[in-house]
Chain A
């Protein structure tokens, strides 16, 4: 040492440990000095939960429907009663009864009605039957009206025919009733992890590289492996904090009931492991990127490739094969599944071990690839 009394620095694994700790310390301090970061990281998923959860949570109501009764017979009267039952009971439709078919179809074309139900002259169970003309630009309304009106006609037609209606099939629910808002809860935790790791992992790495802070790391004796590990871990810690804060909000906003402290601990571990895997993805993607504009360009694509295929909004099983393949490689799928098992299905922590192993392996593979791709140069 050139300075007398200078301390002897750590080397080898101790240096790597100190370096990793320093990177995490900086990420943690930066986060708390910029509360807007954590707020925006949390706010987006929570708004998502409240808006999307409430908008998709309810059944369709007050769908405008025009009914044209050209038959004016007993069957058409029964159909009209069936439609009125839909209007007053489930409130599925707001019905308008018209005599002119053309007027009804003009209304459909200008958006006044989502469907027109035509009860043709000589309507009967033997034919001709009713015709449904629906606005299929709105698939939800189209399918709901089509299904409800078919049911009305089936009842009318079966009542008119001598055959007995089929017996009701039994329906049992494996878990207590969950509305869509609750179903969405684990998904928004994953979304907050995605956002948190993007802000603290992806964006931070790029900003460090752009503004020069990165250079301060590169000239230090810490090994490249420790440098990669430190950055991934720092991103994971910040993303975990965001995920846990959103998890707390989800527990307060939705009727999710966690069985016990072991399940809570398992949920926390799942949040951390998911954060680690997603943070590793960001760092791998930006191993050689130099500009924040890369993130701006890629955010939408990465969001589409990680969040939506995870089954956050819709069951994975209904995806086409190519999308299911993406889903199988997506770490968010495993994080989400583990959280749903723990929070919605009341599963024990042991049941989510396979998801944990996948997430850890995924993070490790991404870390190794990043180590290979990472250039300690500017």
Chain B
């Protein structure tokens, strides 16, 4: 695990750190993919306040990179710098080799954005919104019509193309925003909290749609900011946790979860009372923070991935207990998030 991404002096085609550890995703080929986004010690201050403090990371083609952090962590400022909407105070960033300060037109041609704000005009139809956006990117005529058809099909809005946008549900409107963001086939897509405020069904629909979008555009690199840890876990190949403008950790979700010392929670209930010897035997397996809930029930934590909960249940059965109830709660990305942001805040 790394606290920083590769610096500008490192080769562009170096594999990102997540590739060293299997994350369960088919990413081995990514090692040979060129870098889409390269951020090197990017800093932005507003007066005395440091919004982003020497942030560095890189994202390769086809990778989805999540930026997690509490409100005010510097995520939106970082996105704004990368999308040419805010000049950095220091440091540099390149999108497909184009500097975000010196070569803004080329950067703008390469990127698509789906911001937190609703940027579609509610008075226009779905198709008109896409038509206006397409022209802003230089698309016109049959080419534009073809891309509108394609994107509407991808986001499942083909049947709604003539509908006035204000009549769409929140989920459909977000899907339209995404279609608008990728209409011109960008190389890099910035998604700033794309499912914020949506119901679980709409969120799931957008996740699946993004998955389909990536399957269709294999080279598309995505930077995603979100507060939803399950979303980052589902969508991202790698995530970085930001707090107070700094990247506290960066890796694949699976690797981050494995990196915690504790976090997997087990509750176990037996037919007869548990003894101190039972507790010691389970502790020897790696259980920590043992807490008796009743004479015949206890709760403990363990390191993720070591399967201490199941091994403890088998051990108790070997020692003559009958297991009445066993609950094992896996560590989540939220545990990782709280773990890192908590430390960061205490360190301040």
Interface residues of A (CB under 8 A from B): 1-3, 5-11, 14-15, 18-19, 21-23, 25-26, 29-30, 33-34, 211-213, 215-223, 376-378
Q: A2-B185, A33-B164 are in contact. Are A10 and B140 (CB under 8 A)?
A: yes
Question: In the bound complex, what is the Cα–Cα distance between A250 and B70 (angstroms)?
Answer: 60
For B118, give its contact among A1, A9, A211 (CB under 8 Å): A211
Q: A21-B135, A220-B108 are in contact. Are A212 and B124 (CB under 8 A)?
A: no
Q: A2-B220, A6-B147, A7-B146 are in contact. Are A377 and B117 (CB under 8 A)?
A: no
Q: Are A7 and B133 in contact (CB under 8 A)?
A: no
Q: Are B184 and A9 in contact (CB under 8 A)?
A: yes
Q: A9-B184, A29-B128, A215-B119 are in contact. Are A2 and B219 (CB under 8 A)?
A: yes
For B180, give its contact among A10, A23, A216, A218 (CB under 8 Å): A216
For B138, give its contact among A2, A3, A18, A25 (CB under 8 Å): A18
Name the residue of chain A whose CB is nearest to the CB of B216: A3
Q: Are A18 and B143 in contact (CB under 8 A)?
A: no
B195 sits at the interface (CB 8 A):
no
Most chain B beta carbons < 10 A, residue from A9, A11, A217, A222: A9
Apart from A2-B218, A10-B139, A217-B136, list 16 A-B contacts with CB within 8 A.
A5-B146, A8-B143, A18-B135, A18-B140, A25-B128, A26-B121, A213-B121, A215-B113, A215-B119, A216-B119, A216-B120, A216-B180, A219-B85, A220-B133, A220-B136, A223-B105
Question: In the bound complex, what is the Cα–Cα distance between A8 and B186 (angstroms)?
Answer: 12
Q: Are A378 and B80 in contact (CB under 8 A)?
A: yes
Count A-B pairs with CB separation below 8 Å.
Answer: 120
B111 sits at the interface (CB 8 A):
yes
Interface residues on B, range: 35 or more
Chain B residues whose C-beta falls within 8 Å of the C-beta of A378 in the assembled complex: 80, 85-86
Most chain A beta carbons < 10 A, residue from B132, B146, B184, B187: B132
Interface residues of B (CB under 8 A from A): 80, 83-87, 105, 108-109, 111, 113, 115-121, 123-124, 128, 131-140, 142-144, 146-147, 150, 164, 180, 184-187, 216-220
Chain A residues whose C-beta falls within 8 Å of the C-beta of B118 in the assembled complex: 211-213
Name the residue of chain B whose CB is nearest to the CB of A10: B138
Q: Are B216 and A212 in contact (CB under 8 A)?
A: no
Q: A9-B138, A18-B140, A220-B137 are in contact. Are A30 and B87 (CB under 8 A)?
A: no
Question: In the bound complex, what is the Cα–Cα distance between A239 and B111 (angstroms)?
Answer: 34
Chain B residues whose C-beta falls within 8 Å of the C-beta of A216 in the assembled complex: 113, 115, 119-120, 133, 136, 180
